[in-house]
Structure 1
Amino acid sequence: MSSPHILILGAPGAGKGTQSANIVDEFGVEHVTTGDALRSNKEMDISDMDFEYDTPGEYMDAGDLVPDAVVNAIVEEALSSADGYVLDGYPRNLEQAEELADMTDLDLVLYLDVDRSELVDRLTGRRVCDDCGANFHVKYSQPEEEGICDECGGELVQREDDTAEAAENRLDVFEENTLPVVEYYEGTDEFVAVDGEQAPDEVWSDVKAAIEAVTE
Protein backbone atom coordinates (compact mmCIF):
# COMPACT_ATOMS: atom_id res chain seq x y z
CA MET A 1 0.00 0.00 0.00
CA SER A 2 1.92 3.02 -1.24
CA SER A 3 -0.72 5.69 -0.57
CA PRO A 4 -2.35 5.19 2.83
CA HIS A 5 -5.62 6.69 4.00
CA ILE A 6 -4.85 8.26 7.38
CA LEU A 7 -7.06 10.10 9.85
CA ILE A 8 -5.26 12.15 12.51
CA LEU A 9 -7.11 13.14 15.69
CA GLY A 10 -6.13 15.26 18.66
CA ALA A 11 -7.15 18.30 20.66
CA PRO A 12 -6.12 21.85 19.70
CA GLY A 13 -2.41 22.11 20.49
CA ALA A 14 -1.74 18.38 20.22
CA GLY A 15 0.51 18.80 17.18
CA LYS A 16 -1.70 17.54 14.36
CA GLY A 17 -0.44 20.18 11.92
CA THR A 18 3.22 19.42 12.60
CA GLN A 19 2.81 15.67 12.25
CA SER A 20 0.53 15.98 9.21
CA ALA A 21 3.26 18.01 7.47
CA ASN A 22 5.78 15.27 8.33
CA ILE A 23 3.45 12.61 6.91
CA VAL A 24 2.96 14.56 3.67
CA ASP A 25 6.74 14.99 3.23
CA GLU A 26 7.60 11.38 4.05
CA PHE A 27 4.78 9.49 2.36
CA GLY A 28 3.73 11.82 -0.46
CA VAL A 29 0.05 11.90 0.48
CA GLU A 30 -2.26 14.92 0.42
CA HIS A 31 -3.04 16.91 3.57
CA VAL A 32 -6.83 17.30 3.57
CA THR A 33 -8.26 19.76 6.08
CA THR A 34 -11.81 21.08 6.22
CA GLY A 35 -10.57 24.67 6.05
CA ASP A 36 -8.50 24.07 2.92
CA ALA A 37 -11.24 21.95 1.35
CA LEU A 38 -13.82 24.68 1.96
CA ARG A 39 -11.55 27.39 0.59
CA SER A 40 -10.81 25.35 -2.57
CA ASN A 41 -14.51 24.67 -3.12
CA LYS A 42 -15.99 28.08 -2.27
CA GLU A 43 -17.84 28.22 -5.58
CA MET A 44 -19.20 24.65 -5.44
CA ASP A 45 -22.85 24.59 -6.56
CA ILE A 46 -25.00 23.41 -3.64
CA SER A 47 -28.26 24.89 -4.91
CA ASP A 48 -29.77 21.38 -5.13
CA MET A 49 -29.38 20.99 -1.35
CA ASP A 50 -32.06 23.60 -0.67
CA PHE A 51 -30.05 25.64 1.85
CA GLU A 52 -30.06 29.40 2.44
CA TYR A 53 -27.08 29.96 0.14
CA ASP A 54 -26.07 28.37 -3.16
CA THR A 55 -22.31 28.10 -2.54
CA PRO A 56 -20.11 27.42 0.52
CA GLY A 57 -18.37 30.74 -0.12
CA GLU A 58 -21.56 32.66 0.60
CA TYR A 59 -21.72 31.09 4.09
CA MET A 60 -18.06 31.91 4.68
CA ASP A 61 -18.42 35.49 3.46
CA ALA A 62 -21.42 35.97 5.75
CA GLY A 63 -19.47 34.55 8.71
CA ASP A 64 -21.98 31.71 9.10
CA LEU A 65 -21.20 28.06 9.75
CA VAL A 66 -21.28 25.92 6.63
CA PRO A 67 -23.95 23.20 7.12
CA ASP A 68 -22.66 19.71 7.96
CA ALA A 69 -24.17 18.26 4.79
CA VAL A 70 -22.13 20.70 2.69
CA VAL A 71 -18.93 20.03 4.64
CA ASN A 72 -19.51 16.30 4.20
CA ALA A 73 -19.90 16.69 0.42
CA ILE A 74 -16.76 18.81 0.15
CA VAL A 75 -14.66 16.39 2.22
CA GLU A 76 -15.93 13.47 0.15
CA GLU A 77 -14.94 15.27 -3.05
CA ALA A 78 -11.46 16.07 -1.67
CA LEU A 79 -10.86 12.48 -0.54
CA SER A 80 -12.13 10.96 -3.79
CA SER A 81 -9.58 12.92 -5.83
CA ALA A 82 -6.64 12.10 -3.51
CA ASP A 83 -4.47 9.04 -4.16
CA GLY A 84 -3.54 8.96 -0.48
CA TYR A 85 -4.24 11.43 2.31
CA VAL A 86 -3.94 12.49 5.91
CA LEU A 87 -7.30 13.89 7.00
CA ASP A 88 -7.05 16.57 9.68
CA GLY A 89 -9.93 18.49 11.31
CA TYR A 90 -12.74 16.14 10.26
CA PRO A 91 -14.80 14.42 11.60
CA ARG A 92 -15.60 16.81 14.45
CA ASN A 93 -18.62 14.90 15.75
CA LEU A 94 -20.13 11.43 15.69
CA GLU A 95 -22.50 12.24 12.84
CA GLN A 96 -19.56 13.24 10.65
CA ALA A 97 -17.67 10.09 11.69
CA GLU A 98 -20.57 7.98 10.48
CA GLU A 99 -20.63 9.93 7.21
CA LEU A 100 -16.88 9.38 6.79
CA ALA A 101 -17.37 5.62 7.09
CA ASP A 102 -19.59 5.78 3.99
CA MET A 103 -17.08 7.93 2.06
CA THR A 104 -13.83 6.04 2.39
CA ASP A 105 -11.91 3.19 4.02
CA LEU A 106 -9.32 4.25 6.58
CA ASP A 107 -6.03 2.38 6.92
CA LEU A 108 -4.95 4.15 10.11
CA VAL A 109 -6.52 6.38 12.77
CA LEU A 110 -3.82 8.23 14.70
CA TYR A 111 -4.69 9.87 18.02
CA LEU A 112 -2.17 12.31 19.52
CA ASP A 113 -2.83 11.96 23.25
CA VAL A 114 -1.86 15.04 25.30
CA ASP A 115 -2.94 15.98 28.83
CA ARG A 116 -5.24 18.99 29.10
CA SER A 117 -2.86 21.03 31.28
CA GLU A 118 -0.09 20.55 28.71
CA LEU A 119 -2.46 21.61 25.92
CA VAL A 120 -3.32 24.82 27.78
CA ASP A 121 0.42 25.58 28.21
CA ARG A 122 1.01 25.02 24.51
CA LEU A 123 -1.93 27.12 23.36
CA THR A 124 -1.42 30.06 25.72
CA GLY A 125 2.35 30.17 25.10
CA ARG A 126 2.07 30.74 21.37
CA ARG A 127 3.19 34.12 20.05
CA VAL A 128 2.62 35.34 16.49
CA CYS A 129 4.45 38.06 14.58
CA ASP A 130 2.10 40.99 14.03
CA ASP A 131 3.80 41.71 10.70
CA CYS A 132 4.72 38.45 8.93
CA GLY A 133 2.67 35.87 10.87
CA ALA A 134 5.64 33.70 11.97
CA ASN A 135 4.90 31.49 14.98
CA PHE A 136 6.94 31.22 18.17
CA HIS A 137 6.39 29.85 21.67
CA VAL A 138 7.48 31.20 25.03
CA LYS A 139 8.65 27.72 26.09
CA TYR A 140 9.18 25.51 23.04
CA SER A 141 10.27 27.86 20.25
CA GLN A 142 11.62 31.08 21.69
CA PRO A 143 12.79 33.96 19.49
CA GLU A 144 16.40 35.11 19.77
CA GLU A 145 15.19 38.37 21.34
CA GLU A 146 12.13 38.27 23.59
CA GLY A 147 9.05 39.73 21.91
CA ILE A 148 10.80 40.27 18.57
CA CYS A 149 10.31 38.17 15.44
CA ASP A 150 13.47 36.43 14.16
CA GLU A 151 12.15 36.58 10.60
CA CYS A 152 11.32 40.26 10.15
CA GLY A 153 11.87 42.08 13.45
CA GLY A 154 8.15 42.62 14.00
CA GLU A 155 6.40 42.55 17.38
CA LEU A 156 5.28 39.18 18.73
CA VAL A 157 1.74 39.20 20.10
CA GLN A 158 -0.67 36.76 21.73
CA ARG A 159 -3.73 36.19 19.57
CA GLU A 160 -7.17 36.51 21.15
CA ASP A 161 -7.88 32.81 20.64
CA ASP A 162 -4.65 31.90 22.50
CA THR A 163 -5.64 33.44 25.84
CA ALA A 164 -6.25 31.08 28.78
CA GLU A 165 -10.02 31.60 28.62
CA ALA A 166 -10.13 30.98 24.87
CA ALA A 167 -7.89 27.91 25.18
CA GLU A 168 -10.11 26.41 27.89
CA ASN A 169 -13.20 27.06 25.75
CA ARG A 170 -11.61 25.40 22.69
CA LEU A 171 -10.72 22.35 24.77
CA ASP A 172 -14.25 22.21 26.25
CA VAL A 173 -15.67 22.15 22.72
CA PHE A 174 -13.22 19.40 21.73
CA GLU A 175 -14.09 17.26 24.75
CA GLU A 176 -17.82 17.67 24.20
CA ASN A 177 -17.94 17.16 20.43
CA THR A 178 -14.79 15.41 19.21
CA LEU A 179 -13.62 13.24 22.11
CA PRO A 180 -16.60 10.91 21.40
CA VAL A 181 -15.13 10.55 17.87
CA VAL A 182 -11.88 9.29 19.42
CA GLU A 183 -13.90 6.80 21.48
CA TYR A 184 -15.79 5.79 18.32
CA TYR A 185 -12.53 4.62 16.70
CA GLU A 186 -10.83 3.36 19.86
CA GLY A 187 -10.70 -0.42 19.91
CA THR A 188 -10.83 -0.74 16.11
CA ASP A 189 -7.92 -2.39 14.29
CA GLU A 190 -7.04 0.92 12.63
CA PHE A 191 -6.70 2.91 15.88
CA VAL A 192 -3.25 3.82 17.25
CA ALA A 193 -2.74 6.19 20.19
CA VAL A 194 0.55 8.10 20.25
CA ASP A 195 1.98 9.87 23.30
CA GLY A 196 1.85 13.47 22.07
CA GLU A 197 3.71 14.82 25.10
CA GLN A 198 7.02 13.48 23.84
CA ALA A 199 9.48 15.69 21.96
CA PRO A 200 8.22 16.33 18.39
CA ASP A 201 10.86 14.06 16.83
CA GLU A 202 9.89 11.23 19.20
CA VAL A 203 6.21 11.73 18.34
CA TRP A 204 7.16 11.60 14.67
CA SER A 205 9.13 8.38 15.20
CA ASP A 206 6.01 6.71 16.67
CA VAL A 207 3.75 8.15 13.96
CA LYS A 208 6.07 7.00 11.17
CA ALA A 209 6.32 3.50 12.66
CA ALA A 210 2.51 3.24 12.84
CA ILE A 211 2.17 4.24 9.18
CA GLU A 212 4.93 1.90 8.02
CA ALA A 213 3.13 -0.95 9.83
CA VAL A 214 0.08 -0.50 7.59
CA THR A 215 1.97 0.18 4.35
CA GLU A 216 4.18 -2.91 4.34
Structure 2
Amino acid sequence: MSDPHVLLLGAPGAGKGTQSKRLAETFDIEHVTTGDALRANKDMDISHMDTEYDTPRAYMEAGELVPDEVVNEIVKTALSEADGYVLDGYPRNLDQAEYLSEITDLDVVVFLDVSEEELVDRLTGRRVCDECGANYHVEFSPPEEEGVCDECGGDLIQRDDDTEDTVRERLRVYEENTEPVVEHYRDEGTLVEVDGEGTPDDVFEAIRGEVEAATE
Protein backbone atom coordinates (compact mmCIF):
# COMPACT_ATOMS: atom_id res chain seq x y z
CA MET A 1 0.00 0.00 0.00
CA SER A 2 1.33 3.43 -0.92
CA ASP A 3 1.60 6.18 1.69
CA PRO A 4 -1.94 7.58 1.86
CA HIS A 5 -2.94 11.18 1.25
CA VAL A 6 -5.87 11.75 3.62
CA LEU A 7 -7.99 14.82 4.28
CA LEU A 8 -10.04 14.78 7.49
CA LEU A 9 -13.01 17.15 7.69
CA GLY A 10 -15.36 17.84 10.57
CA ALA A 11 -16.72 20.58 12.79
CA PRO A 12 -14.93 21.82 15.94
CA GLY A 13 -15.30 19.06 18.51
CA ALA A 14 -15.76 16.28 15.94
CA GLY A 15 -12.48 14.62 16.94
CA LYS A 16 -10.27 15.51 13.97
CA GLY A 17 -7.17 16.11 16.06
CA THR A 18 -7.44 12.84 18.00
CA GLN A 19 -8.17 10.73 14.94
CA SER A 20 -5.53 12.46 12.77
CA LYS A 21 -2.80 11.66 15.30
CA ARG A 22 -3.82 8.00 15.39
CA LEU A 23 -3.90 7.80 11.59
CA ALA A 24 -0.44 9.38 11.37
CA GLU A 25 0.98 6.85 13.85
CA THR A 26 -0.76 3.84 12.30
CA PHE A 27 0.23 4.56 8.70
CA ASP A 28 3.56 6.25 9.57
CA ILE A 29 2.62 9.44 7.73
CA GLU A 30 2.81 13.13 8.57
CA HIS A 31 0.06 14.85 10.57
CA VAL A 32 -0.25 18.24 8.88
CA THR A 33 -2.28 20.95 10.60
CA THR A 34 -2.39 24.60 9.62
CA GLY A 35 -1.49 25.62 13.18
CA ASP A 36 1.61 23.41 13.31
CA ALA A 37 2.59 24.32 9.74
CA LEU A 38 2.30 28.03 10.54
CA ARG A 39 4.41 27.69 13.68
CA ALA A 40 7.05 25.66 11.82
CA ASN A 41 7.23 28.22 9.00
CA LYS A 42 6.53 31.45 10.86
CA ASP A 43 9.74 33.02 9.58
CA MET A 44 9.17 32.02 5.95
CA ASP A 45 10.08 34.88 3.59
CA ILE A 46 6.86 35.98 1.88
CA SER A 47 8.19 39.34 0.71
CA HIS A 48 7.62 38.25 -2.91
CA MET A 49 3.89 38.10 -2.20
CA ASP A 50 1.75 41.21 -2.26
CA THR A 51 0.95 41.06 1.47
CA GLU A 52 1.10 43.51 4.36
CA TYR A 53 3.92 41.73 6.17
CA ASP A 54 7.01 39.85 5.03
CA THR A 55 6.65 36.83 7.36
CA PRO A 56 3.74 34.85 8.87
CA ARG A 57 5.23 35.65 12.31
CA ALA A 58 4.44 39.35 11.79
CA TYR A 59 0.74 38.55 11.27
CA MET A 60 0.68 36.30 14.33
CA GLU A 61 2.42 38.85 16.55
CA ALA A 62 0.03 41.56 15.35
CA GLY A 63 -2.91 39.29 16.23
CA GLU A 64 -4.15 39.36 12.64
CA LEU A 65 -5.43 36.49 10.53
CA VAL A 66 -2.82 35.11 8.17
CA PRO A 67 -4.14 35.64 4.60
CA ASP A 68 -5.29 32.66 2.55
CA GLU A 69 -2.47 33.00 0.03
CA VAL A 70 0.12 32.75 2.81
CA VAL A 71 -1.60 29.76 4.42
CA ASN A 72 -1.75 28.13 0.97
CA GLU A 73 2.00 28.57 0.49
CA ILE A 74 2.74 27.10 3.93
CA VAL A 75 0.49 24.08 3.36
CA LYS A 76 2.09 23.54 -0.05
CA THR A 77 5.54 23.50 1.61
CA ALA A 78 4.41 21.08 4.34
CA LEU A 79 2.82 18.65 1.87
CA SER A 80 5.78 18.76 -0.51
CA GLU A 81 8.00 17.50 2.31
CA ALA A 82 5.71 14.56 3.19
CA ASP A 83 5.45 11.22 1.36
CA GLY A 84 2.12 10.53 3.00
CA TYR A 85 -0.03 12.73 5.22
CA VAL A 86 -3.27 13.31 7.03
CA LEU A 87 -4.36 16.92 6.59
CA ASP A 88 -6.39 18.42 9.43
CA GLY A 89 -7.80 21.97 9.60
CA TYR A 90 -7.38 22.84 5.92
CA PRO A 91 -9.07 23.68 3.59
CA ARG A 92 -11.43 26.00 5.48
CA ASN A 93 -13.16 27.45 2.43
CA LEU A 94 -13.86 26.66 -1.21
CA ASP A 95 -10.96 28.73 -2.56
CA GLN A 96 -8.53 26.75 -0.41
CA ALA A 97 -10.12 23.47 -1.54
CA GLU A 98 -9.63 24.41 -5.18
CA TYR A 99 -6.01 25.40 -4.49
CA LEU A 100 -5.39 22.11 -2.69
CA SER A 101 -6.50 20.17 -5.78
CA GLU A 102 -3.80 22.01 -7.78
CA ILE A 103 -0.91 21.03 -5.49
CA THR A 104 -1.68 17.45 -4.43
CA ASP A 105 -3.81 14.39 -5.15
CA LEU A 106 -6.01 13.14 -2.32
CA ASP A 107 -6.71 9.43 -1.91
CA VAL A 108 -9.69 9.92 0.37
CA VAL A 109 -11.62 12.71 2.09
CA VAL A 110 -13.19 11.60 5.38
CA PHE A 111 -15.97 13.67 6.94
CA LEU A 112 -16.67 13.05 10.64
CA ASP A 113 -20.42 13.43 10.99
CA VAL A 114 -21.46 14.61 14.48
CA SER A 115 -24.75 16.29 15.45
CA GLU A 116 -24.72 19.88 16.67
CA GLU A 117 -26.02 18.96 20.13
CA GLU A 118 -23.25 16.38 20.57
CA LEU A 119 -20.66 18.95 19.46
CA VAL A 120 -22.02 21.48 21.96
CA ASP A 121 -21.85 18.89 24.76
CA ARG A 122 -18.28 18.00 23.88
CA LEU A 123 -17.02 21.57 23.58
CA THR A 124 -18.80 23.09 26.58
CA GLY A 125 -17.61 20.23 28.78
CA ARG A 126 -13.94 20.95 28.14
CA ARG A 127 -11.86 22.18 31.08
CA VAL A 128 -8.27 23.45 30.85
CA CYS A 129 -5.65 23.74 33.58
CA ASP A 130 -4.93 27.39 34.31
CA GLU A 131 -1.33 26.47 35.17
CA CYS A 132 -0.02 23.84 32.72
CA GLY A 133 -2.68 23.82 29.98
CA ALA A 134 -3.67 20.14 30.37
CA ASN A 135 -7.11 19.34 28.88
CA TYR A 136 -9.97 17.48 30.55
CA HIS A 137 -13.66 16.90 29.94
CA VAL A 138 -16.31 16.81 32.65
CA GLU A 139 -17.89 13.70 31.10
CA PHE A 140 -15.37 11.94 28.87
CA SER A 141 -12.05 12.49 30.70
CA PRO A 142 -12.63 14.06 34.12
CA PRO A 143 -9.79 14.72 36.56
CA GLU A 144 -9.42 12.53 39.64
CA GLU A 145 -10.54 15.45 41.81
CA GLU A 146 -13.19 17.79 40.40
CA GLY A 147 -11.73 21.14 39.38
CA VAL A 148 -8.12 20.13 40.10
CA CYS A 149 -5.48 19.21 37.49
CA ASP A 150 -4.04 15.69 37.86
CA GLU A 151 -0.72 16.87 36.42
CA CYS A 152 0.16 19.90 38.52
CA GLY A 153 -2.69 20.56 40.97
CA GLY A 154 -3.70 23.77 39.20
CA ASP A 155 -7.27 25.05 38.89
CA LEU A 156 -9.36 23.80 35.95
CA ILE A 157 -11.25 26.52 34.12
CA GLN A 158 -13.73 26.77 31.26
CA ARG A 159 -12.24 28.91 28.52
CA ASP A 160 -14.30 31.83 27.23
CA ASP A 161 -14.57 30.21 23.80
CA ASP A 162 -16.05 27.04 25.36
CA THR A 163 -19.25 28.64 26.68
CA GLU A 164 -22.45 27.52 24.94
CA ASP A 165 -23.18 30.83 23.16
CA THR A 166 -19.62 31.04 21.84
CA VAL A 167 -19.60 27.38 20.80
CA ARG A 168 -22.84 27.73 18.85
CA GLU A 169 -21.44 30.80 17.08
CA ARG A 170 -18.22 28.90 16.21
CA LEU A 171 -20.34 26.09 14.76
CA ARG A 172 -22.43 28.57 12.76
CA VAL A 173 -19.29 30.15 11.28
CA TYR A 174 -17.84 26.70 10.55
CA GLU A 175 -20.98 25.63 8.72
CA GLU A 176 -21.14 28.85 6.72
CA ASN A 177 -17.51 28.60 5.57
CA THR A 178 -16.79 24.88 5.45
CA GLU A 179 -20.07 23.26 4.44
CA PRO A 180 -19.39 24.27 0.79
CA VAL A 181 -16.04 22.42 1.11
CA VAL A 182 -17.85 19.25 2.22
CA GLU A 183 -20.28 19.60 -0.70
CA HIS A 184 -17.35 20.18 -3.09
CA TYR A 185 -15.79 16.82 -2.20
CA ARG A 186 -19.18 15.10 -2.13
CA ASP A 187 -19.84 16.30 -5.68
CA GLU A 188 -16.34 15.12 -6.70
CA GLY A 189 -17.11 11.66 -5.37
CA THR A 190 -14.07 11.55 -3.07
CA LEU A 191 -15.98 12.14 0.20
CA VAL A 192 -16.78 9.33 2.60
CA GLU A 193 -18.81 9.97 5.74
CA VAL A 194 -18.02 8.34 9.08
CA ASP A 195 -20.30 8.45 12.12
CA GLY A 196 -18.23 10.46 14.58
CA GLU A 197 -20.46 9.77 17.58
CA GLY A 198 -19.16 6.29 18.39
CA THR A 199 -16.31 5.52 20.76
CA PRO A 200 -12.91 6.91 19.65
CA ASP A 201 -11.80 3.33 18.89
CA ASP A 202 -14.89 2.59 16.77
CA VAL A 203 -14.53 5.85 14.87
CA PHE A 204 -10.86 5.16 14.24
CA GLU A 205 -11.50 1.66 12.91
CA ALA A 206 -14.11 3.06 10.51
CA ILE A 207 -11.68 5.72 9.26
CA ARG A 208 -8.84 3.22 8.92
CA GLY A 209 -11.07 0.95 6.85
CA GLU A 210 -11.89 3.79 4.47
CA VAL A 211 -8.21 4.76 4.10
CA GLU A 212 -7.15 1.17 3.43
CA ALA A 213 -9.92 0.69 0.89
CA ALA A 214 -8.92 3.87 -0.94
CA THR A 215 -5.23 2.96 -1.18
CA GLU A 216 -5.34 -0.76 -1.99
User: The TM-score by the shorter chain falls in which range?
Assistant: over 0.9
Q: Which residue of 2 aligns with 1:84?
A: 84
User: 1:187 Cα shift?
Assistant: 4.2
1:193 alignment counterpart: 193
Aligned to 1:179: 179
For residues 64-110 of structure 1, give each alpha carbon's deviation from its aligned partner in whole angstroms, at most 9, with x where no partner exists: 11111111111111101111000011000001100001010000101
Pair 1:163 & 2:155 matched = no
Mapping of residues 30-179 of structure 1, within 5 Å: 30-179=30-179
% same residue: 66
CA deviation profile, 1:39-75 (whole Å, cap 9, x unmatched): 1111111111121111111111111111111111111
Aligned-pair distance for 1:190?
2.5
Structure 2 stretches lacking a partner, 5+ long: none
The 4+ residue runs of structure 1 with deviation greater than 6 A are none
Provide the C-alpha distance between the structure 2 equivalents of 1:205 and 1:99, rounded to a whole number of angstroms: 30
Letter in structure 2 aligned against 1:148: V
TM-score, with structure 2 as normaliser: 0.97
| Aligned-partner Cα distance in 2 for 1:51–1:200 | 41
Distance (whole Å) between structure 2 residues aligned to residue 36 and residue 142 of structure 1: 27
Q: Which amino acid aligns with 1:128?
A: V
- Secondary structure in 2 matching 1:46: coil
- Give the corresponding residue for 1:15: 15
TM-score normalised by L of structure 1: 0.97
Which amino acid in 2 is paired with 1:105?
D
Using the alignment, how far apart are the partners of 1:66 and 1:98 within structure 2? 18
* 3-state SS of paired residue (1:7): strand
**1:137 aligned partner, one-letter code:** H
Separation in 2 of the partners of 1:60 and 1:129? 24
3-state SS of paired residue (2:48): helix
Q: How far apart are residue 145 of structure 1 and its match?
A: 1.2
1:152 aligned partner, one-letter code: C
CA-to-partner distance for each residue in 1:189-212, whole Å, 9 max, x for gaps? 421100001111110110111111
| SS of the residue 1:146 aligns to | coil
Write the distance in 2 (CA, Å) between the matches of 1:143 and 1:54.
Answer: 44
Counterparts of 1:52 and 1:155, CA distance in 2: 40
The count of residues paired between Structure 1 and Structure 2 equals 216
Query: C-alpha separation between the residues in 2 aligned to 1:137 and 1:113?
Result: 20
User: CA–CA distance in 2 between the matches of 1:104 and 1:54?
Assistant: 26
